[in-house]
Structure 1
Amino acid sequence: MFTTTSNSIFDRSIQDYHRYNDVHQAISNPYEKSSIEHLLYMKNWIDTVQWHLEDIIRDPQINPAEALHIKRWIDRSNQERTDVVEYIDSYFLEQYKNVKPAADAEINTESPAWAIDRLSILALKIYHMQEEAIRADATPEHREACQRKLDILLEQRTDLSTAIETLLADIAAGKKYMKVYKQMKMYNDPSLNPVLYKGEK
C-alpha cells in the first residue's frame, strides 16, 4: 500500500536525520531521483529540518539576528515543502490520468499529496513523543502522559493511512477525482507582497 511505503520512508528519513541531529547537515537521499520514493524522502527531510528550526527559534536566549536568519530559513523551507507536495500530486495526476470519473464523482477536501503531507508531520510527532515517553531524566508522570499521547498519535496514523488508501482507491475507481490548485503563496512573490514591491520603487 502507498501509505505503508510512505510511513516506512518517513521513518527512515527521521532516523537518518537524527544520526547527527544537525539542521546544517546535507540530505543524502537514498532513492532514485526520478522515483516517488525520492520525493517522499525529500518531503520528510524538509519537514524534519524545519521541525528543529522551529525548536531553535523558540529559544528565549536566541540572538535576534540569528532568529531573523532562522525565520528566513523557515520561510524558504515552507516554499520548498509546498513545491514537493505539488510534485507528489503531479505523480498522482499521472497515475490516474486515464481514469474517467463517474457522473456522480465527488472531489475530496484535499488532494492526496496534502494528506501525505500530514502523514509526514505525524511521523515526526510520533518520533519525538516516543523520545519523551522514554526520557530517562523526566518524571514518571511526564513519561506516562507522553505515552498516552503517543498511543493516540499511533492510532491517528492508522486512521489517516486508512483514509488515504480509501481516497486513492476511490480515485482509481472514478468515485472521486483530483483537482489540484497550485499554491498561490503571496508573501514570497515580489509582485504580490506590498512590502517587497513598494521597496522596489
Structure 2
Amino acid sequence: MSEPEDREDRALRERLAALRDDAPGPDFQALLHRRLVEAGPPTPASGWDAVRDFWRRRAPVLWPAVGIAMGVATFLVLGAVRGTPGVPETEAPGMAELERPGTQVPVSKVAVIKLDFTADVAVEQADFQVSLPEGLSFWADGEELPLRSYQWTQPLSAGSNVIPIAVRGQRPGRYLVTALARAGDQRIEHDVVLEVTGG
C-alpha cells in the first residue's frame, strides 16, 4: 500500500475503535412502552391500501385465476349474444332457400335466367342440365315447352360462361330452378330462386 492509503486506513481504524456500543438502560423497555401508549394506535390503512396489499401478497395465484375467469366469462357472454345460427327445426331446409328470390317476374312475362359457369381453363365438353319445378316452364320461340328438365353438351371457354335460360311462370309463387354442369369428375350446381308475381 502507498503512504496516503496507509494513513487513511489507520485513521479509519482509530475512529471505529472509538465508537462505543451504548447498551440500553434498565428503564428502556418501560420508556418505550410509555411512548407507544402515548402515540396511540396507528391510523388504519385506507380501503385501497388493504386491497392493494391483498393483491400484492396473493398475486402469483390470483392474477392467473382472474385471467381464466375473465376468459370463460367472455366466452359465455359472446356465446349467449351471438346464438347459434341455423334454420329453425319447424322449417324445412328447402323452404329457407326459397325465402330470398334472385329474380322477380310477373306471370304474364318471360324471365331470362342467366347462369354463369366459370372455368379456370377451357373445357372441350361439359354436360349441362336445368330442372324446373311444377309451376314453371321453359320458353322458346314464343311457345311453352313441355319439358321439366333440359340437357345438352357444349364446350366451356376459360373464364366466365353465361348461359341464358328463358322460363315463364304459370302461377304466382317462389320456385327453385336447379342448374347442373359436369366436366370430367367436377360437378358444379347452381340454384336460382325465381319469384313469379301476379301482374
TM-score range, shorter chain: under 0.3
Larger radius of gyration: 2
Structure number with the higher strand fraction is 2
User: Under a length normalisation based on structure 2, what TM-score does the superposition of the two structures give?
Assistant: 0.17
Bigger share in helix: 1
Q: Given the two structures, how large is their TM-score scaled by the length of structure 1?
A: 0.17
Relative contact order higher in (CA < 8 Å, ≥ 6 apart)? 1
